[in-house]
Structure 1
């Protein structure tokens, strides 16, 4: 049997380190059930900083509610397995209704400590609070380090721009020759890459406690809207009944666009160019056959779609280059 390759990641390392530190600290100050500090730490190590903060808060609140339940059911009732089971039956719905259901496991750890002690004293209460502070606090501390994903996001951005450039070049070839052997694979690749890129960009947002947005996420979202336009114009292009004079105007524009899908050109520049294309389009002779009329109608629809394509880009704030100037890829 061949074993799957496995690589120890940052989260695994942080979980191991955090559990060891939490147990050491709890044991150092002489807490009862000190090993549970490691368990609480493990439960709070999350993929992102914001998720760790939310997890720690949820687990702390759930554990405090558990202590209140223990006082009512154990101290005012009895310390018995039946009472423990009844309490859990009532405790879980309360956590769910309050939105702290993900804190049940950590709160169950605290509950079992109280059940085992058979006496909820002030000293035991303080012991459990200290366990939570050490366990959750250690998890938050070790999870503050997150490796940078800036380079990965930048590579996604460059690859998406390359795919868009390639698609426009293929469209240009079809407009000029009336045929093409393009498989459309770049379209599929772009869709998949945008999904991955947006997910990674969202993860970057979650790793900054005071940041609620990400420049790359907005960028990939903008590119996704543009991709929908490319998908809409492709059927119109492949359905052109004949090649007319106006086809060359659109082909020239798209060829120019394909060579400048990067961070050095403004959308406004190409909107101006598109206006000149529209003016030249209107100045050309009217169609003398039904097929030419249909072709011109489709080409006009393509021009309108490309105008929307550029307007979407124009509303995007853009990146800042090293000199602090906004870079606006088309």
Structure 2
């Protein structure tokens, strides 16, 4: 069964309302109101407001350009050519180029009636107001995407837990059946989640920031560190007692990955582990020395990982 999206429903209702109003008021070119409504439906409220401003201004400029060019050069196809060549750069200069299609609809109305009168001007401004206004009205409704953001948050945290546990398994057993799919998934999940969080910001007219966006940005920074430590751990040739101690720490950390901020607890634990390892007997072979050095590198990266979370304010 084909699912009908909320934007499709909003567009359909908006087209009906705008054309109905235009016909009820006896306006000429009532279907143009429907076209303007379709062009005005956006995915966020802030984009809708910006789009409405650009289209309305572009339409007014279109009326001015149409009046001047048709007055000077007459109502001919080549007049439209000259108008377009001059009009588009002007819209770009005014930073309202997204309103070109809407404006050209108005220009073509003038080209069709071949006369610029007060009645025509009132008709076109009314068409613009109904079409763009209805689009704005339809965009007042936006679905709540908090649940989707929470789902992304939970999935990313679940992947972080898996990665931590698999690192612990490798440190203890020096082998793992893990296929690493969570590493591939997480990067895509974070990018998708950040895009959705930006939409959430743009759906709130008085909000310029979003706690979910900052959360996913924090996880992105942490994930970049995980991408570095996974190959680092895979270079270890065999298990050592110090590695098992770090593995226990990772298991404990994996059980406490959540939106809250308890990083300070694990930073203290990590520093104690680091001090304990420093006090152990020095390596006796080159291989042991290299493993010990890799573990210290890993601990430094994990400290950075925890500091990123420690600075985060949910």
TM over 0.5: yes
Aligned equivalents of 1:135 and 1:49: distance in 2? 16
Deviation of residue 226 (structure 1)? 0.7
TM-score, structure 2 length as denominator?
0.96
Q: Where does residue 48 of structure 1 map in the other structure? A: 44
Deviation of residue 16 (structure 1)? 0.7
TM-score, structure 1 length as denominator?
0.91
Q: Where does residue 173 of structure 2 map in the other structure? A: 177
The RMSD of aligned alpha carbons is: 1.4
Q: Where does residue 11 of structure 1 map in the other structure? A: 7
Q: Where does residue 157 of structure 1 map in the other structure? A: 153
Deviation of residue 265 (structure 1)? 5.3
Q: Where does residue 267 of structure 2 map in the other structure? A: 271
User: Structure 1 stretches of 5 or more lacking a match?
Assistant: 319-330
Deviation of residue 264 (structure 1)? 5.0
Runs of 4+ in 1 over 6 A off after TM superposition: none
Aligned equivalents of 2:79 and 2:231: distance in 1? 68
Cα displacement string for residues 159-205 of structure 1 (whole angstroms, at most 9, x for unaligned residues): 11111111111110100111111111111121221122112111211
Aligned equivalents of 1:315 and 1:265: distance in 2? 9
Cα gap change, 1:300/1:123 in structure 2, threshold over 3 Å: closer, same or farther?
Answer: same
Q: Where does residue 255 of structure 2 map in the other structure? A: 259
Q: Match for 1:292 among 280, 284, 288? A: 288
Q: Where does residue 314 of structure 1 map in the other structure? A: 310
Deviation of residue 243 (structure 1)? 2.6
Q: Match for 1:135 among 106, 113, 131? A: 131
Q: Are positions 1:30 and 2:26 aligned together?
A: yes
Segment of structure 1 superposing worse, 246-255 or 287-296: 246-255
Which secondary structure does the structure 1 equivalent of 2:73 belong to? coil
Q: Is the 8 A contact 1:31 1:131 kept in 2?
A: yes
Which secondary structure does the structure 2 equivalent of 1:76 belong to? helix
Q: Is the 8 A contact 2:261 2:310 kept in 1?
A: no
Aligned equivalents of 2:168 and 2:240: distance in 1? 14
User: Structure 2 stretches of 5 or more lacking a match?
Assistant: none
Deviation of residue 85 (structure 1)? 2.2
Q: Is the 8 A contact 2:46 2:202 kept in 1?
A: yes
Q: Where does residue 204 of structure 1 map in the other structure? A: 200
Cα displacement string for residues 225-255 of structure 1 (whole angstroms, at most 9, x for unaligned residues): 1111111011111111343332122112111
Q: Following superposition of structure 1 onto structure 2, how do residues 49-198 of structure 1 map, counting pairs within 5 Å?
A: 49-198=45-194
Q: Match for 2:219 among 217, 223, 231? A: 223
Deviation of residue 98 (structure 1)? 2.8
Segment of structure 1 superposing worse, 77-86 or 35-44: 77-86
Deviation of residue 217 (structure 1)? 1.2
Q: Is the 8 A contact 2:174 2:237 kept in 1?
A: no
Cα displacement string for residues 37-86 of structure 1 (whole angstroms, at most 9, x for unaligned residues): 11111111112212211211111111111111112111233122221222
Aligned equivalents of 1:87 and 1:193: distance in 2? 47
- The aligned length equals 314
Aligned equivalents of 2:72 and 2:185: distance in 1? 64
Q: Where does residue 325 of structure 1 map in the other structure? A: none
Q: Is the 8 A contact 2:261 2:312 kept in 1?
A: no
Which structure shows the higher helix fraction? 2
Cα displacement string for residues 258-316 of structure 1 (whole angstroms, at most 9, x for unaligned residues): 11112455111111111111111111111111111111110000000000001111111
Q: Is the 8 A contact 2:222 2:308 kept in 1?
A: yes
Aligned equivalents of 1:125 and 1:293: distance in 2? 84
